[in-house]
């Protein structure tokens, strides 16, 4: 992309003013009378495709739609893209390879590889089987670098990013949807033909009036952090265990917060060991509570650990801005992927993407992954991405129509990236043909996904 094209793309976001110095800003600010109130801006936008949710799936969906030539808007209610990978801090978006063969590629893999190269990181050797230790095939990313990179890719694809906005009402129209959003100082009406729900919570699907599914008890979330300031080899592990259990009995510590594994906490230095019970990102209230619980748990535990020998200088090196959430709502789709479908690698006739990950259900006791049998690679049908009785609406990511056990594996980032690309390709063709995602010619859908580097399942 030339500098001129890059500048034009940024200017189109309405967020860049070139050639204005800080002195000019100060002069203009002084010219505003103190008794003048600003008004809430109201506007109407039109687009071909609207993606709600700029997380793992939403970013890939938006880039796919933009690169396919469709006018695309991406609405995200926080300050950066990437969701679980970036804001949530789970910056290892695997797994892309199964049994020595790549099964998920396309736009997501392109971005992951570029982030690895830009940070001088090294990819795992995917030709060596991971056995029962699937993290061996995880790709570790610099999350904040990845956030900047995917934002750049969206801008280059012509995607109109709207941070700090959330939908409040979604109304069907004759040829699409009217989506009302609210953000900082602004109310917006967005008219779109195709709507892609990548909220993770099936929030847009609910606002559009379609039923969703949820478990009575959901998986715990995790606050990602890093601790340091100690030498693990010098620690008296038996003493630490003993003191930890004493505090649990007193009620000053909760055994569920770190899976009753204080040694694991110290050994991992905080790498994805936190459990925030009942973590729920559905509403601002519930997500606020999850964040407060996660941070309070960490702070309380750090204070305790610093009272122990050789841990007096333990410190928090880094902590994410919010608790990452594993499970809330799923759509009630035209097909619900079952646990049996997943673990047997059922090949659907409308499969649009692969998924590959162990069954990964977290609970108050922790997690023991249940690995797939050798050679099994699950697939995701287009029907599972479309809410029942809907038109011009498709989803991607963890809200895919599936039962709880299947969803515990489907929700991970690599498979969400594959779903995001497939969902957007279906929306692109639906807009082109004046139809709805389930009715697009499947051969064209396969070709479009593959032309952008994606892998569509097929019988070998």
CB 90 within 8 A of CB 224: yes
Contacts of residue 409, defined as CB under 8 A and 6 or more positions apart, other chains included, come to 342, 355, 357, 358, 359, 360, 378, 415
DSSP result, 125-172: -TTS--TT-GGGGPPP--HHHHHHHHHHHHHHTT-EEETTEEEEEEEE
Whether the pLDDT of residue 43 is over 90: the answer is yes
Whether the pLDDT of residue 446 is over 80: the answer is yes
What 3-state class would DSSP assign to 103?
Answer: coil
φ, ψ (nearest 5 deg) of residue 365: -90, -10
Task: State the Cα angle at 130 between 128 and 136, rounded to 5°.
Answer: 100
The pLDDT tens digits of the residues spanning 82-91 come to: 999 999 999 9
Pick left, alpha or beta for residue 14 (phi over 0 → left; psi -120 to 50 → alpha; otherwise beta).
left
For the entire predicted model, the pTM comes to 0.91
DSSP result, 216-281: SS---BB--EEEESS-GGG--HHHHHHHHHHHHHHTSS-TTTTTT-HHHHHHHTTSS---BTT---
Contacts of residue 315, defined as CB under 8 A and 6 or more positions apart, other chains included, come to 227, 228, 229, 302
CB 219 within 8 A of CB 363: yes
Please tell me the CATH code under which domain 43-217+328-452 is placed: 3.50.50.60
Minimum mean pLDDT among 6-10, 122-126, 171-175, 374-378: which range? 6-10
When pLDDT is averaged across residues 433-444 and rounded to a whole number, the result is: 98
Residue-level pLDDT at 9:
44
DSSP 8-state secondary structure symbol assigned to residue 360: -
- Average pLDDT of the residues of the chain: 92
Whether the pLDDT of residue 37 is over 80: the answer is no
The pLDDT tens digits of the residues spanning 330-363 come to: 999 999 999 999 999 999 999 999 999 999 999 8
Q: State both tokens at 166.
A: 């959330």
In 3D space, the residue among 165, 169, 168, 167 whose CA is nearest the CA of residue 185 turns out to be 165
Residues of the chain with CATH 3.50.50.60: 43-217+328-452
Instruction: Find the Cα–Cα–Cα–Cα dihedral 421, 427, 429, 434, rounded to 10°.
Output: 180
CB 416 within 8 A of CB 57: yes
What 3-state class would DSSP assign to 388?
Answer: coil
Q: Is the dihedral of CA 91, 93, 98, 101 positive or negative?
A: negative
Q: Is the dihedral of CA 61, 204, 406, 81 positive or negative?
A: positive
The pLDDT tens digits of the residues spanning 298-323 come to: 999 999 999 999 999 999 999 999 99
DSSP 8-state secondary structure symbol assigned to residue 83: G
């Amino acid at each position: 992309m030339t500098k001129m094209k890059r500048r034009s793309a940024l200017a189109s976001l309405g967020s860049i003013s070139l050639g204005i110095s800080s002195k000019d800003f100060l002069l203009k600010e002084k010219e505003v009378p103190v008794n003048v109130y600003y008004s809430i801006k109201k506007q109407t936008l039109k687009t071909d495709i609207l993606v709600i949710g700029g997380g793992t799936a939403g970013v890939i969906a938006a880039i796919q739609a933009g690169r396919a030539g469709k006018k695309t808007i991406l609405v995200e209610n926080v300050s950066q893209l990437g969701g679980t990978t970036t804001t949530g801090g789970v910056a290892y978006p695997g797994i892309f390879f199964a049994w020595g063969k790549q099964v998920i590629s396309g736009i997501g893999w392109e971005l992951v590889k570029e982030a690895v190269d830009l940070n001088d990181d090294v990819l795992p050797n995917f030709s060596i089987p991971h056995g029962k230790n699937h993290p061996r095939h995880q790709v570790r990313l610099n999350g904040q670098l990845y956030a900047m990179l995917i934002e750049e890719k969206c801008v280059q694809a012509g995607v109109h990013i709207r941070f700090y906005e959330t939908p409040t009402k979604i109304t069907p129209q004759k040829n699409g949807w009217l989506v009302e959003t609210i953000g900082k100082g602004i109310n917006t009406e967005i008219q779109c033909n195709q709507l892609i729900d990548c909220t993770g919570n099936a929030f847009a699907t609910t606002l559009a009036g379609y039923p969703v599914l949820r478990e009575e008890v959901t998986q715990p979330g995790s606050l990602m952090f890093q601790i340091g300031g100690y030498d693990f080899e010098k620690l008296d592990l038996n003493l630490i265990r003993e003191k930890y259990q004493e505090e649990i009995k007193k009620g000053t510590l909760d055994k569920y917060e770190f899976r009753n594994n204080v040694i694991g906490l110290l050994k991992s230095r905080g790498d994805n060991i936190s459990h925030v019970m009942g973590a729920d990102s559905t509403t601002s209230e519930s997500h606020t509570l999850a964040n407060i619980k996660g941070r309070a748990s960490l702070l309380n535990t750090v204070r305790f650990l610093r009272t122990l020998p050789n841990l007096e200088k333990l410190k928090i090196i880094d902590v994410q801005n919010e608790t990452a959430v594993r499970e809330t709502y799923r759509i009630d789709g035209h097909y619900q992927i079952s646990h049996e479908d997943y673990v047997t690698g059922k090949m659907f006739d409308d499969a649009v993407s692969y998924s590959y990950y162990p069954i990964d259900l977290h609970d108050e006791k922790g997690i023991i992954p249940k690995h797939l049998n050798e050679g099994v690679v699950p697939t995701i049908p287009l029907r599972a991405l479309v809410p029942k009785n809907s038109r011009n609406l498709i989803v991607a990511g963890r809200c895919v129509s599936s039962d709880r056990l299947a969803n515990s594996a489907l929700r991970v980032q690599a498979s969400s990236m594959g779903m995001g690309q497939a969902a957007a390709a279906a929306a692109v063709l639906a807009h082109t043909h004046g139809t709805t995602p389930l009715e697009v010619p499947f051969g064209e859908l396969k070709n479009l996904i593959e032309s952008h580097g994606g892998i569509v399942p097929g019988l070998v």
